[in-house]
Amino acid sequence: MIERYKKNKGLYIFIASVGIIVFLLSYTVSIAFLRSSKDGGAGILGEASQASFLNMNDVLISDKSNIEFMLNYKNSLGKVKINDKLDKTINVEKDNLIGLNQEQAEKIFSSFGYKVEKFTKEDIIFVKDIEGYSYKEDSYFIGIKDENIVIYNKDSNGTIKVVEEKILNPKDDNGQSYLKINDIENRGNLLRTFYEGHRDYQFSNIQEAMEYAQALCST
């Protein structure tokens, strides 16, 4: 038997070495798994789970996010950014929105008719659909675009576009300033009708529309 051992000594050593290696590998894997479970998933499996979670929820509102609220007109006017004096429901401190994801943010404003149109780290846009006044074709009417009081035209095809972006402010003796939202933002009903539209705001020519806008904003 001793002679047999001497003869197969190399084979026995090889088998023993393989056994030791297999044991050490099994032990290492077991310890890593136990640590992962004990730390609540802080090991390799935990990191994978956390990475998966972050990938699903990586877009959150931050202090650098640009948040805008828009009105989407069904009368072909398109989308217009709205002034927070028009709708007090959007007067939410930005600090209170930081850290929210899309679902959480949309839940806050959906009850007021807003839905998320865009949700990225840079830009977050909420949109609310409204009918808008149905102006006649080939007419000019007063409205709002960005921060300005403007004149729109609705052509014979029903296409609406801005034809006068700047209306002189009659209160400015130097003729250097133009009518803006802040000129009427504290006149709630006027501000609202400029956004929603009104039958009295349509005219057959651009000059009449501009003069009426100046009269309304200067009284």
pLDDT over 80 at 17, yes or no: no
Domain enclosing residue 76, as ranges:
66-130
Helix (H, G, I), strand (E, B) or coil at 13: helix
Asked whether residue 151 falls in the same domain as residue 199, the answer is: yes
How many domains does the chain divide into? 3
What is the tens place of the pLDDT at every residue in 129-146? 998 899 999 999 999 988
What is the tens place of the pLDDT at every residue in 100-133? 999 999 998 998 899 999 999 999 999 999 988 9
- More confident: 148 or 23: 148
pLDDT over 50 at 171, yes or no: yes
What does the mean pLDDT of the chain come to? 78
Query: Residue 116's domain is classified under what CATH number?
Result: 3.10.20
pLDDT of residue 18: 47
Asked whether residue 92 falls in the same domain as residue 122, the answer is: yes
One-letter amino acid identity for 115?
A: K
Mean pLDDT of 71-77: 83
Helix (H, G, I), strand (E, B) or coil at 207: helix
Asked whether residue 145 falls in the same domain as residue 214, the answer is: yes
- Are the C-beta atoms of residues 218 and 149 closer than 8 Å to each other? no
- Are the C-beta atoms of residues 73 and 133 closer than 8 Å to each other? no
In a domain, 52, yes or no: yes
What percent of the chain lies above the pLDDT cut of 70? 74
pTM given for the model: 0.64
In a domain, 61, yes or no: no
Q: Which two tokens stand for residue 24?
A: 């050490």
Burial of residue 116 (CB within 10 Å: 0-12, 13-18, 19+) is middle
- More confident: 35 or 192: 192
Q: How confident is the model at residue 45 (pLDDT cuts 50, 70, 90)?
A: very low
List 183's β-bridge partners, or say none: none
**How many angstroms separate the CA atoms of 22 and 26, rounded?**
6
